[in-house]
Structure 1
Amino acid sequence: MTTGTIYGVGLGPGAQDLMSVRSDRLIRNAGYVAYFHKAGKTGHARRIVEGMLPENVVELSMAYPVTTEIPFDDPRYKDQLSRFYESSVERLIEIADAGHDVVVLCEGDPFFYGSFMHLYTRLVDRVPVSVVPGITGMSAAWTATGRPVTWGDDVLTVAMGTLPEDLLAERIAQTDALVVMKIGRNLDKVRRALVTAGREDEAWFIEYAAMDEERVTPFREAGQIAPYFSILLIHGNGRRP
């Protein structure tokens, strides 16, 4: 019996018409579809593909055992997620060994800060795995501003709001163009880092890029809450003809 393939399929930033043709084809013809979600929630990846799945598809939900309930640097966090990924992988391998392909839905791009990476490294030497890239949320964010994010020799830095404040301020000060992701509870820290770096007036705040709720505002005018789908952006101003 031929072993099935596990497909990590990039869904893009959240709109069905921003998926690749390959992603669309795999999803619409899937026999098995797996997706991550928070316990008790449908999950954004599953919502994106609503109306696209075949009637007889088998859905495999993968509910995170923990998200923000405990700090990510707590040993329990790593332990629980590691065991979760291991059990998810065993489930996928069992299906692949029975000769079935599985499409794993991945928000944005599977290899860009996505949960699928943790499956991929555990799967790649055991069963066939294929990755379909997708448009990233940050690409949708800078497109929403209506301005190019980099010019000429501009250096683009992608930083996480979870970084220590001093390191975050240093990264902001040293780069030409900037994307800050994973803002959430770190919004106040990000604000202070921007002020320290002297770049608060250059920053933009993009919420729900490429989605119906899309909103673009100067960062100074941002509220006190950062939705899960929010990105801070500073445009580069480098060399141009």
Structure 2
Amino acid sequence: MTGRLIGIGLGPGDPELLTLKAVRLMRAAPVIAYPLAEGGESLARAIAAPHLPGGQDEIAIPLCMSADRAPGQGAYDRAAPRIAAALEAGRDVAVLCEGDPLFYGSFLQLLARLGPRHPVEIVPGVSSVMAAAARARHPLSARADRFAVLPATLPDGALRAAIEAAESVAILKLGRHFARVKALIEDMGLTGRATYAERVGQPGERVLPLGETGGAAPYFALILIYRGAEPAILASLAAGDAR
């Protein structure tokens, strides 16, 4: 009998945004695993902490935040055998995942390495996109609107084309790309239809119109844009500007 590899979606940061199923499976698992920021703490474990019963074995996965894929791949190469040993001993391993396990999630790395040989269960989580929209009261789309999720790492030409191809857009992974992306949005005349959000559900949360921002942005920041014609969404954005 092999244990289950369980990907637990934790949401963007607020411990109250976990699902009942996520809490139940996470508490019952004898082993938990989670990413650990280089030289820092684990945001995933901090989100889960209020729900953890104590006494579980823990596997931390130290990650190097780099544009180069090699260091991150190496971290999962080293973690996979430790998790596999627990699974092969018949112990479930709950992998704590910020946001949703399959939405730009690091759980994909473990799924590729361990999924073919072990049972897998995945619990979806509230994504930062949905949490930011709710916090800002920024409707994402309606009726026939197309919705696109884009990484800020794309070059300007690709970003512009993708924004122009959809009525509603979320741009993630801002970080060092923020000034460039903000300038592109301004050049497209969309600043008035854009909302900025950072660290949603975490300490230091900020949600405001893009035009009111300045300076740098963290990695956990995103921009929501609406460029369609749905009157209810336009009215909501206008109300947001007035706040």
Deviations 1:165-194 (A, max 9, x none): 121122223320010000000011101221
> Cα RMSD between the aligned structures?
1.7
Aligned to 1:29: 28
Counterpart residue type for residue 194 of structure 2: A
Q: Secondary structure at the match of 2:50?
A: coil
Sequence identity of aligned pairs in percent? 34
Aligned to 2:153: 162
Q: Distance in 2 between matches of 1:228 and 1:133?
A: 22
How many residue pairs match? The answer is 232
Q: TM-score scaled to structure 2, two decimals?
A: 0.90
2:202 pairs with 1:211: yes
Aligned to 1:151: 142
Counterpart residue type for residue 60 of structure 2: S
Counterpart residue type for residue 126 of structure 2: I
**1:216, distance to aligned residue in structure 2 (A):** 1.6
Alignment gaps of 5+ in structure 2 = 233-243
Aligned to 2:187: 196
Among 150, 172, 191, which residue is 1:181 paired with? 172
Aligned to 1:67: 65
Among 75, 99, 107, which residue is 1:108 paired with? 99
**1:239, distance to aligned residue in structure 2 (A):** 4.8
**1:52, distance to aligned residue in structure 2 (A):** 2.0
Q: Secondary structure at the match of 1:51?
A: helix
Q: Distance in 2 between matches of 1:148 and 1:221?
A: 19
Aligned to 1:56: 55
Deviations 1:27-61 (A, max 9, x none): 22221110001122111101111232222111110
**1:215, distance to aligned residue in structure 2 (A):** 2.0
Residues 221/83 of structure 1: CA separation in 2 closer, same or farther (3 Å cut): same
Q: Distance in 2 between matches of 1:233 and 1:191?
A: 11
Alignment gaps of 5+ in structure 1 = none
Q: Distance in 2 between matches of 1:127 and 1:28?
A: 20
Give yes or no for contact 1:153–1:238 (8 Å, CA) kept in 2: no
Give yes or no for contact 1:12–1:135 (8 Å, CA) kept in 2: yes
Aligned to 2:235: none
